[in-house]
Chain A
């Protein structure tokens, strides 16, 4: 139950959204939390996790390891491989990846149709505020880019009454980790057959972690009344 000041905030700032800030929570645990909140909660959530505990390969729901990964290297180096419940492609995440997730009821954002493209556009507009004036940011296809270099990958899942949109931002990355991935057969046109290292860029070259997180929270507040969620993640 919201207290009086929260009720006042609701009148001014829009629907309530619970903010969870994490640091170094393993990506598998984060994904389990997200799927649980998507399917069993009726509240809106924003989760920000600064880094996962170890390098991990995360594939979309239909990803085939043999097609997307250099399996011998992955096995030899014992890199964990996780299949997530959302669509989209494959990414190697590590302690320098920043994860931002929105889990919303379908009527949480006025006028937003709960389909992939409208949700993607809405997040693009939100992050436009975050990166305003910085690095020629835009949403290109389904990726967040500076110019034509990708630094944020997105994926979604849409249920009957709710949706989730989550992003892995490459604040920094290790070149050796990118080498575990094959070139995907399905790629956006703007990629122009570039290899991984020519295609992606590091967000740290444009913004500090703390500034990114505070700007993201401020941008989210333009749509929602944010409330920090309490409790421990075990």
Chain B
């Protein structure tokens, strides 16, 4: 039963932008990767909806970092460049930079993370979102990975170590 449900989970569904479907990867830690998002090689995701893009870290990242105990976020109104750091997460003994997959003006930050940093572990793609920004160059999204590519990227990264 486990084998057949895993086999079903391997199929990546092509969801419309109206909703997101989980596409489960075969990475060693079985991290989830969602369709409809774009992914950076530094393990952040971005969801582009109209004028706003929402950004957070992936399930793969939160799993490898461990329990998040503190989140450092910028103030709204600032700007960030593609690949640049906009904040950090602390997990036990380590701070880890979080980098923006695209450039833009920060319009909102997730204030719930101050009291509940563990949302990043429990719900990395939904309640654990980190910032929203107004993209200054939407074409940057084309340079990011889709779900299939990111799944493969994670598998290769884990296999190499």
Contact = CB atoms under 8 A, between A and B. Distances in A.
B49 interface: no
Given A88-B92, A117-B66, A186-B69, A111 B160 contact: yes
Contacts of B83: 160
Interface stretch (B5-13, B18-26, B94-102): B94-102
A138 to B, nearest CB: 17
Given A88-B93, A116-B91, A156-B94, 5 more contacts: A61-B95, A86-B93, A116-B96, A157-B96, A186-B69
Given A61-B70, A159-B85, A160-B42, A111 B94 contact: no
Interface string B80-122: 0001010010111111110100000000000000000000000
A68 to B, nearest CB: 13
Given A158-B96, A160-B97, A116 B160 contact: no
A155 B161 contact: no
5 contacts: A85-B95, A87-B90, A88-B93, A112-B161, A118-B161
Interface string A171-201: 0000000000000001000000000000000
B90 to A, nearest CB: 4
B99 A120 contact: no
B160 A142 contact: no
A154 B93 CA distance: 7
A86 B93 CA distance: 7
Given A116-B66, A117-B66, A160-B42, A87 B91 contact: yes
